[in-house]
Amino acid sequence: MLRVLADHGVQYALIGGLAATLHGSPLRTGDADICPSRRSENLTRLAAALRTMDAKIRSPDAAAGLPFACDASFFRNVELVNLTTKFGDLDVAFMPAGTAGYDDLKPNIVQYDLGDLVVPVAALADIIRSKESANRPRDRAALPTLRALLARQPKKT
């Protein structure tokens, strides 16, 4: 999934539980969450990547997902879309809770080198800020672990 996004040149920040895992969290998640740039050319690249992944709208009533118009104009008009792909579930959030979107997250993105792939990951402090703002039970449960990880990170000077 992340490889396909990279191959299509999609600008995004990995957010949520998978991002926290890359920062060292032992908590596991069942999907990937991204916050893409809203720039028009990026929405076109995002749509192309998602078509390559056979993305469909995730629905409890349709195990295989629901087809949708996967193009840039669709993504101009949504804030959050939960997708299922041939690689797994992907949540696309243009305005994650507690943030102003990609441009807000971009200055603090951490590039994680996974060997054959470099993944742009939201900073741990930004993940915490978003989880605090979302204030869902699962987010509240993760916060002590994430705050402990943040406390162990070297301070920037």
**Contacts with 127 (C-beta within 8 Å, 6 or more apart), sequence order:** 15, 16, 19, 20, 23, 146
Query: Tell me, what's the pLDDT at 87?
Result: 96
At 98-138, the pLDDT tens digits run 999 999 999 999 999 999 999 999 999 999 999 999 999 99
CA 40/CA 87 separation, integer angstroms: 25
Q: Which of 23-32, 48-57, 109-118 has the lowest mean pLDDT?
A: 23-32
Query: Does some domain include residue 73?
Result: yes
**Contacts with 61 (C-beta within 8 Å, 6 or more apart), sequence order:** none
Query: Does some domain include residue 7?
Result: yes
Give this prediction's pTM.
Answer: 0.94
Residue reference for tokens 């449960």: 141
Query: Does some domain include residue 109?
Result: yes
Query: Does some domain include residue 152?
Result: no
In degrees, rounded to 5, the angle at the alpha carbon of residue 42 between the alpha carbons of residues 1 and 48 is 50
Query: Does some domain include residue 68?
Result: yes
Asked if 148 contacts 34 with a C-beta cutoff of 8 angstroms, the reply is no
Query: Does some domain include residue 154?
Result: no
Q: Among positive and negative, which fits the CA dihedral 96, 24, 142, 3?
A: positive
- Looking up residue 40, the CATH number of its domain turns out to be 3.30.460
> How many domains does the chain contain in total?
1
Owning domain of residue 7: 2-144
Query: Does some domain include residue 25?
Result: yes
For the chain, report the end-to-end CA distance as a whole number of angstroms. Answer: 35
Query: Does some domain include residue 58?
Result: yes
